[in-house]
Amino acid sequence: MTTYAVPSTGGPLTLPPAALARAAELIAPALDAAVARLDPTLRGPVQHHLDGGGKRVRAALVLVSAAATGTPEEVGVPGAVAVELVHNYSLLHDDIIDGDHERRHRTTVWVEYGVGPAIVAGDALAGLALQVLLEEPTSERVRAAARLADANQAMIAGQASDMAFERRSTVTVAECLAMEEGKTGALVACATALGALLAGAPAATVGALEAYGAHLGIAFQAVDDLLGIWGEPALTGKPVGSDLLAGKKTLPVAMAMAAGGGGAEELQALLAGEMAEADVARATRLVEQCGARDEVVALADRHLAQALDALASVELAEGPRAELVAIARYVTARDR
């Protein structure tokens, strides 16, 4: 169990909202059909990756956002499939980049099939996302495709910054936030925008849902950063302090460095070297003592609240709006 306070805007929700399972079911036929379009040579690595599942949070955000504007969820399916494809290609490539051996309790594609097939499988999923949207080039789908292409580029920029940070001894809070807005936030904001775009919703509605997604993406990543240091290994599937062990410059670290003083210097020195268990414990304490952990908790709460405010700023269908609130609470819960 986690020992710190849950967000003031929501309690811990260990049960995933119904929208996630519904999204998984709703997109399955279209996702299967898309993958079936791939050359047989590619299907092994791609299927190995996709069989790992995933929570389908982004797909659910597309579908429920579409429904929130008053259309049937089904209208969002091509967007939901495309967003999941982009998310999964980025995971496939990230696993190579980070040298990760496991994802979703399975071997990663590059370990199972080799780096070359994993690069190409990722390329195939990235390309497929655009094919899915452009195969019926209505003006809504074309707009969605352009929006997804932009989000993909922002995500790539975030990933590039993340890699660049590894070679630096320190990063500012602003740099770290910009990186996370790209790496995680861009695709989440795109998901909610896509639902509204595919539904042909007015610009104000698209904007409000996109703002909800953008704030949610930041809150989600901030919580992920907290779990990367203080998460229960039994829940996260990663060792205690895994992000510190990997020397990652996540938000809590950037905030601790911004606090300055001897603690920041000591933390910087620890992160620059090989860390033993005691070093990880010491680094964790340093981030706590300067108040950085509490600051990140507050930041996550603030962005969650802003996400919910954005939802309240326009007229939306009541059921889907409640589901968007539930999804937001779920993905920012500290015990997920």
Residues that bind its own copies (CB under 8 A): 37-39, 41-42, 93, 96-97, 115-117, 119-124, 126-128, 130-131, 134-135, 137, 139, 142-143, 145-146, 149-150, 152-153, 156-157, 159-161, 163-164, 182
Q: How far is the CB of 151 from its own copies (least distance, A)?
A: 9
Rank residues 102 and 135 by Cβ distance to its own copies and give the closer one.
135
Q: How far is the CB of 158 from its own copies (least distance, A)?
A: 8
Rank residues 28 and 146 by Cβ distance to its own copies and give the closer one.
146
Rank residues 130 and 305 by Cβ distance to its own copies and give the closer one.
130
What letter represents residue 116's amino acid? G
Number of residues in the chain: 336
Burial 272-302 (b: 16+ CB within 10 A, else e): eeebeeebbeebbebbbebebbebbbebbbb
Q: How far is the CB of 159 from its own copies (least distance, A)?
A: 5
Nearest-10 crossing angle of helices 277-289, 292-312: 60
Rank residues 85 and 275 by Cβ distance to its own copies and give the closer one.
85
The enclosing H or E element of 106 equals strand 106-107
State the residue for tokens 């494809």.
Answer: 85
C-alpha span between 131 and 129 (Å, rounded): 5
Q: How far is the CB of 101 from its own copies (least distance, A)?
A: 16
Rank residues 108 and 284 by Cβ distance to its own copies and give the closer one.
108
CA distances from 188 to 58, 172, 292, 334 (A): 6, 23, 25, 19
Q: How far is the CB of 138 from its own copies (least distance, A)?
A: 10
